[in-house]
Structure 1
């Protein structure tokens, strides 16, 4: 972060913390919900889903991929009592714009020939299929309780709406 960005976020945090009164929220999420979604800055899961502090675990990564989030999902449901997982991908996602081999080539050039082919960046070419694949990955995981409800959604960055893909 540039010096100005750090100053801005630090000032915003001072304002936020000056009236902060939620330090006594319990550790488990109140709505027993975990949300796996993309790190895209255009998506604010709390606002889009009507969530507040303490309501849900929100797990974010590039593409909202469950394979990348499985460690957090396991902890969320095994240790902290969540009973439902929403997997939300979104329209106009950057993960639709490249393949692993393309990114491996770019990184190899940028990092002096270092071999990065062992990194799976989990890109996808079909948005709805990626949601179905991620839902199935969680539902069939041997370390996720079978009674956990898992559903898949697409968030439309153009409208702010979510639509079901796999419920």
Structure 2
């Protein structure tokens, strides 16, 4: 990490901590809203802000493309240990995962790292609405997702240009 980036992180944290109050602390283990959110790691979506969540409200699980398959382990922990009863899958417009396919990233890995990763699926997305439907269907039919959570699993698209959410399923 560059010294400039590290310095800016430290300064930002000092400013954040200086404004931190006892009201900001929520040491309650179960999320207050009993929800887990799976969304993309892209920097153009800040799920807590977009959903009006504050510290302690929800489990936020982020990965490339907002993959429920990648998030499954965390979702099971969220439900079994912390009592979440709902899942939101949120994908977004202008997602980097829509801009490549597996052969492209396989080629980059081979070129940059000298490693053959052709057997890896990196989760590129062709149709964002269909990807939302597929993720929700995966969770609603998975044996590790309790029936009550299956009924409270929904899929959304966040518009990166307007900040608006649209329910898909």
Partner in structure 2 of residue 129 of structure 1? 130
Aligned mates of 1:96, 1:24 — CA distance in 2: 36
1:8 and 2:14 are equivalent in the alignment: no
- Give 1:1-167 correspondences, 5 Å limit: 1-20=1-20, 21=22, 22-112=24-114, 114-148=115-149, 149-166=152-169
Task: Provide the rounded CA distance (Å) in 2 between the counterparts of 1:30 and 1:55.
Answer: 5
TM-score, with length taken from structure 1: 0.95
Distance, in Å, in 2 between the alignment partners of 1:107 and 1:24 is: 42
Q: C-alpha separation between the residues in 2 aligned to 1:65 and 1:83?
A: 19
Superposition deviation, residue 43 in structure 1? 0.5
List alignment gaps of at least 5 residues for structure 1.
Answer: none
Displaced runs of 4+ in structure 1, greater than 4 A?
none
- The answer for unaligned runs of 5 or more in structure 2 is none
Cα separation, 2, equivalents of 1:67 and 1:24: 29
State the alpha-carbon separation in 2 of the partners of residues 133 and 61 from structure 1. Answer: 16
- Residue deviations 1:83-142, cap 9 Å, x none? 000000000111111111111011111112x11123221111000000000001111111
